Amino acid sequence: MGIAVWTQDEAGPFQTVPCAGNSWQEDGRPARQPHEYVRDGTAKMLTLFHPSSGEVRARGVTSCPNLVLHAWLKEELSAILATMSPPVVLERSANGELWKSWQQDLQWPITLPAQLPTLRMLIVLDNLAGHKTPEMVLWMFSRGIMPLYTPLSGSWLNMCESVQRIIKRRALECQHPQTTDEIINLLEATVRGWNREPTPFEWGGKRAARRERSRQRRHALGGSGACVRRPLRQRLTITQQWQQACQTTH
């Protein structure tokens, strides 16, 4: 439909403490973490994610009140809209129905303004109170952006949560940041590296394909081309029979 879909979330807080994780070490020289450390504040990462291209826009902050969050969102969303193709102008009634279709069956739909521009973007957000302030919502409406809020306990519907877990792991695993600035630098550097070759996200994808194959899996017979759709009962080996007998005896 020519409507861009972005997702938004805030990752963190991340503390200035040793971070667990896997790493390559020389044989006999395991990675060691200090037994003493100082908690010197926390950092968070404001994130916008475009699933269809994999692009991530992020900024590290030490706190994210509405003043910081809204200013960053307005700056980034304005920049994104400026790079998009001009919208296809629809007739007023058709445009209004398009806006309303994204609130169909909602228990508490948002009251839409009487005058609406062409719908250009959907942005998926969680239920943070700062995302629902009238000033911010009306700002998005005036620029053709429709906010969609994930239901309670439905954060898995926001793909931004997924990419944030990847960024966090790549940036902080096995690290021991001493300051919040170091945490922010690690996160933002990882985002820049990600954007050099971003990975598009899609619903289902390889995981859904694997599940579908599992449901349709056929079980080979004796390593030949013959197969069955249900697994055959396997005979126990002598060792397994002996272990089973021991358990029964005890």
Residue 107 has pLDDT above 80, yes or no: no
3-state SS, residue 42: strand
pLDDT given for residue 224 in this prediction = 62
pLDDT given for residue 218 in this prediction = 66
Q: Taking the C-alpha atoms of 189, 194, 197 and 201 in order, what is their torsion angle to the nearest 10 degrees?
A: -160
pLDDT tens digit string along 140-169? 888 888 888 887 777 777 888 888 988 888
Strand order in the sheet with 145-149: 55-61, 42-50, 4-15, 121-125, 145-149
DSSP letters, 234-247, are: PPPPHHHHHHHHHH
| Range of weakest confidence among 33-37, 41-45, 215-219 | 215-219
Q: How confident is the model at residue 192 (pLDDT cuts 50, 70, 90)?
A: very high
3-state SS, residue 78: helix
pLDDT given for residue 249 in this prediction = 65
Q: Which of 124, 120, 82, 80 is nearest to 98 (CA)?
A: 120
Please give the backbone phi and psi of residue 158, each rounded to the nearest 5 degrees, phi first.
Answer: -100, 110
Instruction: Give the residues across from 7 on adjacent strands.
Output: 49, 124
Residue 60 burial (10 A CB sphere; 0-12, 13-18, 19+)? buried
Q: Which domains does the chain have, with CATH numbers?
A: 4-17+37-196 (3.30.420.10)
